[in-house]
Structure 1
Amino acid sequence: MTSAQQLLEIQQARFRRMDPALPEAYPLPRGGEPVMARLRDGEPVAGLTAHTSQPPASLASLWSTRETYELFPLLGEAPREGMDVLLHAFRRQVERLRAPEADSSCLVTWPSRDVGASRALLDHGFVPLSCLAIRTPAATIDTELSGTVKMRRAEPADVDSVVELAMIELEYASLVGASVPRSGAADLKRHAVRVRLRTKSGPRGIRRGDGAPQGDPVWLAERNGKPVGLAECGWVDADNHHSGHRLGNGLWGYVNCLSVREEERGTGIGRELMSRVHEDFATAGAVGSYLYYNPANPLSPVFWHRQGYRPLWTLWEIRPATALR
């Protein structure tokens, strides 16, 4: 009988054959609750589940439901049937936990190229709300701006402009993806932006001891002195940061938010901002860059693919958690 460890090893070998850019280790939560199921031939599949609660006034609550039930499957060589029977078992577990109807979700993050598992997730009611996409420094994009636009690094005095542009992106993303419009969102953003702009340091000074970011690159685009575009970015060292579980080892640039005013879209501002960002990442020696985008967004998938990004992981969600079938 195949053990959970053997399922993990078989699955990881299959992942690496399917997409060499996937990390060597599949992330599993500490202290997760086990879930088990069996295939038609009696062979087992397994997984761990984790329940996360977001405080009402937390920054994370802007892109997540308050209550999240996440499944980490171990399917071996049976992505479609294994995911199907495991999701049935996951649903029974969520029912036992009495997940709330409001502001809750079930989540499975799975390699984007594993389309057999995708079919099972769709059949159980999940939708691909977000993708983690990566780009290697080799990609080169030509940009051509219309009119006179100035690109510069944001300073502490630019907090209001950065927050305004970030809120434009958040409000749009809440219509087409995982973001959640909440009261107090602007204040949460303002605090995060102030911390980002407070100090300047090299990319290896990624986090202070309290976990707050510092030295993160934030770029503004201005036309006639008016901010019209924002690229809010950061650094992640995949050797010691939790996001490294889904990335290959090394220093990565992270694109947290790209926002362009509606009347300025299509003029090349977003492309030029990202050209500056990618130059900044390459100069720092980053092995690549990554971001999250919403597949249902009519603007971002085409834009990001043209910038050289491609999906690595897909975040499948169902809201509320009780809708899992």
Structure 2
Amino acid sequence: MEIEKALFDAHRTRFAAIDRLLPEAPPPPVAGERVDAATASGIQVTGVVQRQLHGPDDVPLLWSAADVRQLFPFIGDTGTEGMDVLLRAWRTWMDAESPGEDSSCVVNWPSRDAEAIRALLDHGLVPMSALAVRTGRHREEPADDGVTVRRARPDDFDEVLAMAVSTHDYIGQVATRHRPNADALLAPGLERALDKDTPLLWLAERDGEVAAFAHAAWIASTPGSAEAELLPHGRWGYVNNVVTMPGLRGSGLGQALMSVVHKEFDADGADGTYLYYNPTNPLSSVFWHRQGYRPLWTSWEVHPASALR
């Protein structure tokens, strides 16, 4: 879908000025429905809305609504006003829709754009997820006595799955929706990870008992890839999940795990590491900043979609 060249050029220039780590802003999505608006001085802004539907057995339900309407805004250098009038137009566009309870409106936007944040908040969207990159180094501290870190094995599956489900249940209170079939959605990915010769899944044991795990992957951001729309080109270490047993959270197990994970990614030539966390999660929102991560993109959402103001 084409938009005016002057608007797109201003869009790219603004992204480059907001955050030096942002990759070059991609062109508008090819598919979707267009929403147009104009500022008080007559400057045109636009957006593309795409809809995604997830079935009951689809893994994205672990972090997403079943019915998602995502807006890709192009507001150039119009700041708060441009985002505000575009969201107003989207709200009018939504009047013709009939979203159910398990639905959302989503805008993924650079985390450092304070002007846009003002408009997003005013329209009822909240920061539900952040893509964070590691730009600092946490002062490494020795693990507590009795804590060891090792690679996971296939026979660790039951314990790993139980921990993953417990963390999903916790996050369901503060961020994403709780899914009663979380175990079935989580199991295939963990099985695939454990089936590899050298799984990127580590366990922390305390006094011989499994107490936490970290699950990671390698991701390539290459020209034209979906990852290149979010990350600079390179070979990235992706931290998919870090889980600590209830009752042991905050005891240093996560830090001990990530010390090993970061060292292995560095030794294997990672250009950087990144992850997603929930800003509304009172544990992860503190932990990841202490590990040297900071937000690059934030996913702003409102649930259900009809609650968009």
TM (normalized to structure 1)?
0.90
Distance, in Å, in 2 between the alignment partners of 1:70 and 1:77 is 21
2:209 maps to which of 206, 215, 226: 226
Equivalent pairs, count: 306
Residues 127 and 27 (structure 1), Cα distance of their counterparts in 2 relative to 1, 3 Å cut? farther
Letter in 2 for 1:166: A
Distance, in Å, in 1 between the alignment partners of 2:8 and 2:174 is 33
Distance, in Å, in 1 between the alignment partners of 2:298 and 2:41 is 29
Gaps of 5+ in 1: 201-214
Task: Look up the match of 1:300.
Answer: 284
Q: Do structure 1's residue 257 and structure 2's residue 254 form an aligned pair? A: no
3-state SS, counterpart of residue 72 of structure 2: strand
Could you give the per-residue CA deviations for residues 188-209 of structure 1, whole angstroms, max 9, x where no partner exists?
2112111122123xxxxxxxxx
Runs of 4+ that moved beyond 6 A: none
Distance, in Å, in 2 between the alignment partners of 1:34 and 1:94 is 12
Q: Compare 228-237 and 291-300 and name the one that shifted more.
A: 291-300
Task: Look up the match of 1:323.
Answer: 307
State the Cα distance separating 1:315 from its structure 2 match. Answer: 0.6
Percent of counterpart pairs with the same letter? 43
State the Cα distance separating 1:43 from its structure 2 match. Answer: 1.3
Q: Do structure 1's residue 182 and structure 2's residue 166 form an aligned pair? A: no
Task: Look up the match of 1:86.
Answer: 86
Q: Do structure 1's residue 275 and structure 2's residue 253 form an aligned pair? A: no
Letter in 2 for 1:275: S
Q: Compare 51-60 and 90-99 and name the one that shifted more.
A: 90-99
Task: Look up the match of 1:126.
Answer: 125
Task: Look up the match of 1:193.
Answer: 190
State the Cα distance separating 1:90 from its structure 2 match. Answer: 0.9
State the Cα distance separating 1:29 from its structure 2 match. Answer: 2.7
Could you give the per-residue CA deviations for residues 122-166 of structure 1, whole angstroms, max 9, x where no partner exists?
000011111111014x62431232231110111111111111111
Distance, in Å, in 2 between the alignment partners of 1:66 and 1:31 is 20
Letter in 2 for 1:249: H
Q: Compare 21-30 and 216-225 and name the one that shifted more.
A: 21-30
Residues 29 and 156 (structure 1), Cα distance of their counterparts in 2 relative to 1, 3 Å cut? farther
Distance, in Å, in 2 between the alignment partners of 1:261 and 1:235 is 25
State the Cα distance separating 1:299 from its structure 2 match. Answer: 1.4
Distance, in Å, in 2 between the alignment partners of 1:29 and 1:270 is 38
Task: Look up the match of 1:171.
Answer: 169
Task: Look up the match of 1:208.
Answer: none
Gaps of 5+ in 2: none
Q: Do structure 1's residue 116 and structure 2's residue 115 form an aligned pair? A: yes
State the Cα distance separating 1:182 from its structure 2 match. Answer: 1.6
Q: Do structure 1's residue 238 and structure 2's residue 221 form an aligned pair? A: yes
3-state SS, counterpart of residue 263 of structure 1: coil
Residues 59 and 9 (structure 1), Cα distance of their counterparts in 2 relative to 1, 3 Å cut? same
Distance, in Å, in 1 between the alignment partners of 2:177 and 2:227 is 21
